[in-house]
Structure 1
């Protein structure tokens, strides 16, 4: 509370000493003009005279105070004050203390009361002179200060933020109760700057706070939110938040003031969160799947290493914040965005959906994709997490397996067909031999016998030729160690034309080689010779009777193939009628004496063995065009 330190002014003291009883009436106007609230009280405690200041505070009517007892006017005055006044009547004035009263407006007023003896003309004490000093503002300020200190103390207890002050003039450091509690020292502990610094953990924390204190005192530089470690009085390590700033008096730095907060639990929790985040990050970065998180605008807010590698970036920052339209072609982005919206709206996840993603560079990748909505506390989606497994290699293996199955199926069909051919042809030859032998046995005429023997010889040759053809087919389909080489197609065509030159000249045919000199194909050399010989021979052999044969050979690269095109102006083939049988064994499509139906069958098997293919277009009476595809991946 407010301390009693005020005393009457020198002027008033001198004036009081001059006042005698007989002069009251003569000096009344002077008393009324006294600058402080003043009252003259007789030895019966009656108020005899007051100043206007007194009257204005306590009495609306100037006459109302006459013949009124002091304790009647102020019933709340302590009776101990009578003893004080009695001592004053004896010439021994004492402080009367502080008293609260209510003025004429009903407001609380605080006064400090002082007294002095009142003498008459004969120097006899006839009463006391009471003077009031209005200390309402001081008391209110003290009350306000107490309130603020109480609020500050409550705030400190709630927030666990301590205070400290350092007085530079007397080198005194003050710690509040909370600050002491954080340091785990006793309540009566008296700190100083040296011990305060000593509590900070040696190294970074102690160096940082020391530099902050130095700059604050030397340059007036404040500091705040320094996250440091201390070692408490009991040896515990704690994380604290320290702040401080200089305080000035008339432009001169007189000290420092600051805050001190225990943030150990918060920092430990943050460290745990960071460790968990690192653990989660390590986990998702090392998963063999693409992982990402999108917000409601389909912007990626998290991606793992696999997703970075797929998108061709090293730093996730190059991707974060971008949406699908910035990362993929518009068509793919629209499909992905529509799917994102559907997942977030319906809250139904998409699980293991097979998709094909296309990047901006055109590369396509097959994925098993899942999209799962992320829900807030209200059950509303605020984004989604995506997981994609690259199955491109699996799809390639699946394709290869499917091709192998298709090849096996084709081979089975070929084998079955071959078995039928072998069975039919050998049975035909066997029946022919049996019939001729029967004729030979029963025939008596020697000339007829010779004729039958000649037929037997021809049948035997036909059987050998059939066996040779069947053996070559078997060789092509069972040879797994064929050696494929890079061959100049132009040179091979020239060699084939040279070898067939008598046949070509005899048929008055024209061959035009349009193949570039440096054009290379991957093929088995013997197979390529056989393919060129068969196709060129057929092109010349089946010429149109009304024009000379013309054969054109050209080549081009397309995709994974080197393509040889052989085009003629011959008889042509009715593909609607014979298309499915074109490459069958012993299938012929023209009444030509040399047509045996084995050439195309053999070349087709050779091309298949090299993972190639054949395409044909033809018009009856116009000519035929064969395209032979040599696989570049061999």
Structure 2
């Protein structure tokens, strides 16, 4: 059907309208009530061809060009439009094939007040969507979120980034007033509340930097900006931005600390510290540098470093100076001539001072190592005598100066270092990086003790190349001179694996035997206490049975014997439960979500909960977990919740509260009730005893708390109880 026929068909519409449809930059279709195409513009033809590879003709069914996944949605919007309900909002569709976004709108076409067709307009909004995505990515990178409080509709909105900052899931519903609870309790929370009150009263915005507490308990710094929107002189909406400024705040505080640290490091440093300009002149000098140079600070400032450098050292010192001018830090030993002409040996470290990427000066730290060099010379004289011992022993040895520079070592020492995947030992290099590893050997402690003539011993465990555990004793001995002065250090490395494994096995056997003895003593007490009464009853009944004078007495005695037998069977089953805990080995430990096991227990106790109208006040976070055995945790939750319901107070509705806290890093689960309570002064010592009951409940066996206590303690935890008769009981379960 051509454009003129279309105009006549649909109420003689103006040619300009159909010309607009034909030349519209958008894709335009007109469908009759049977969803057949009666008009399409040239862009529609191009769209269909690029999307499906098909050509379109008047009279074609629109279904020929719609993806099966979109049919249901299309039918819904088409029929709504035929019923006079135009789809005014945009329906965004993403085509992954050509990375295009489309906005689709439906409008009814009337003839004589009747809807006879539907126009469908498809607009390319790819550029807009990509811009939105870029803004979203920028927002995520800069960690700036948005928020809005609508006081007309009483609604609150937080953007996804805002929720990310507070560690909330994107679908978390933020309440109108509960949103303020994420600000740190105290001055920060009151400040933001006051700012909101003033904004509502005056219409003025606010800009605050406050601390907040995330959903995971983390304290962060945030910047909250707020603006107002008013209607008829009254503020009806607050909106603004929410930014995580923790890192920025930390950088600022670190900068202040760094400034103080630098000043202290310079003035209080025990070493000689000075700075040279690029012409090798002193621009700052600490007191220890003046002492090293046998001069004064005023005399050194502005003077050249050259006079302090021995002639034979000038070339090497200048070479290192030039390297530092290029931004390279370097440490080396050299001679040093004092202002009084005395020669000293120093270790000097050159560090570039860089401003805006340019080296502007050199920072130097110098240490007098004259005594160490002398000690090194003496150590080298004695090395020949030690070499034979070094090379013919199963123990590793490293000979060190007191500054941990390597003088010599044997093959066993090298093998130990390589087994730790550390760089190999090399003479005249410092051993600091090799020794000071993740299981830190305190070098300062070693040096301090060795200088006092004391040896220092460390025990270390490492994995061999075959992934076996290997144990070593690392012993540092002082090397003394003729006058008992300390000249250096001997590091002794002894493999004690065989001894250590024997020691661990012995300790393991001792602990196992000790634990088994405790269990045996406990179990023997249970048996003697519980089975003795049953055997005594059976013996007495059998005596009466033998002396029975008639059939009725025999029947009565047999009935008693049957009851005692059933009681004995129950006791044996209970003892089996206890034994199963004590004999549990290699139990499965894994992270368990408490919510899951609370839910299981309440499902089992559902009828009792409904019957007594129990309120379960669960304050635990959804992701709260413990490392525990699943069977034990299920038993523990069921026993404690069952007892809380069983011993509820008859005069009030039962409330069971579940909460948690950390006690010195140990997770503690709280189960509190408002039940009848326990007289702890009277019954506290037998609360967790076997077959101990004290509430007068006819169906109480006195077994549940005993088993719970055994299970918790077996897993390395403990149980504490607080109770007041008539008011309720609180159990605290400490998980390992």
TM range (shorter): 0.3 to 0.5
Structure number with greater Rg is: 1
TM-score of the two chains, using structure 1 as the length reference: 0.42
TM-score of the two chains, using structure 2 as the length reference: 0.37
* Higher relative contact order, structure no. (Cα contacts within 8 Å, ≥ 6 residues apart): 1
